[in-house]
Structure 1
Amino acid sequence: MSQQPVKRQPNLFVEIIRGLIDNKLTLGLLFSILFSALAIVQVTHLSRAQLIAQDKLLQERDELDLNWRYLLVEEEFYSQHARIEQIATEQLNMKRPTSEDEEVVIVP
């Protein structure tokens, strides 16, 4: 007299699947919700990756702009007349001509 126990509670997962198969509209809406949720996740990921790339490019632009400004300052420094005269006297042993060293040439 061994009888199997009678199941009084239906399997919930099986009942949900049967209900979805019976109601095609609900199944279609469920898949469209899942698809749109995955699409939102993907778009959010791609937009964040683009923002990170943009931030890196902006940082690189700022560094290049700073280097360009340093180069302008350096160019200004090297183009100063006092600096040129100092290099000419110290490294090249040049001097300003005196009035005795000057010669006047008359061109007819």
Structure 2
Amino acid sequence: MAGERHSLPGVIGGDIMRHGKLALLLLAAVLVSAVLVVTTVHKTRLLTAQREQLMLEKNALDIEWRNLILEENALGDHSRVERIATEKLHMQHVDPSQEHIVVEP
């Protein structure tokens, strides 16, 4: 047996299979958990970026909603003035095509 030659990878593999099964199992568990941590962090960053984008869109829609409310109120005020002019002051709309110019002498 003194003249036998063994390859180093074969000797290491044999030792691991005989004496290091627990260490090999722990190494595999560490590698799997490391990959899962990296994947989770990546997904979390993507979701955080998506949330930020949605918050920006929400703020833009809130601003647009406020502007529409202001516009509605402004148009409502105009119709209110028109209604008061018609009901209380008995004013009427004038059709420009039927308007006659009266010149006083």
TM-score bucket of the superposed structures, by smaller chain: 0.5 to 0.7
Count of equivalent residues: 79
Higher share in helix: 2
CA distance in 2, matches of 1:84, 1:20: 92
State the match for 1:21 in structure 2: 17
Structure 1: 5+ residue stretches without partners: 1-9, 95-108
CA 1:43–1:32 in 2, change beyond 3 Å: closer, same or farther? same
Q: Distance in 1 between matches of 2:54 and 2:76?
A: 33
2:39 is matched with which residue?
A: 42
Unaligned runs of 5+ residues in structure 2 are: 1-6, 86-92, 96-105
Q: Is the 8 A contact 1:20 1:27 kept in 2?
A: yes
Percent identity of equivalent pairs: 32
Query: Which residue number corresponds to residue 75 of structure 1?
Result: 72
The equivalent of 1:64 in structure 2 is 61
Letter in 1 for 2:94: N
Partner of 2:50: 53
Bigger mean CA deviation after superposition, 24-33 or 47-56: 47-56
Q: Aligned Cα RMSD in Å?
A: 2.8
Q: Distance between the aligned counterparts of 2:38 and 2:12, measured in 1?
A: 26
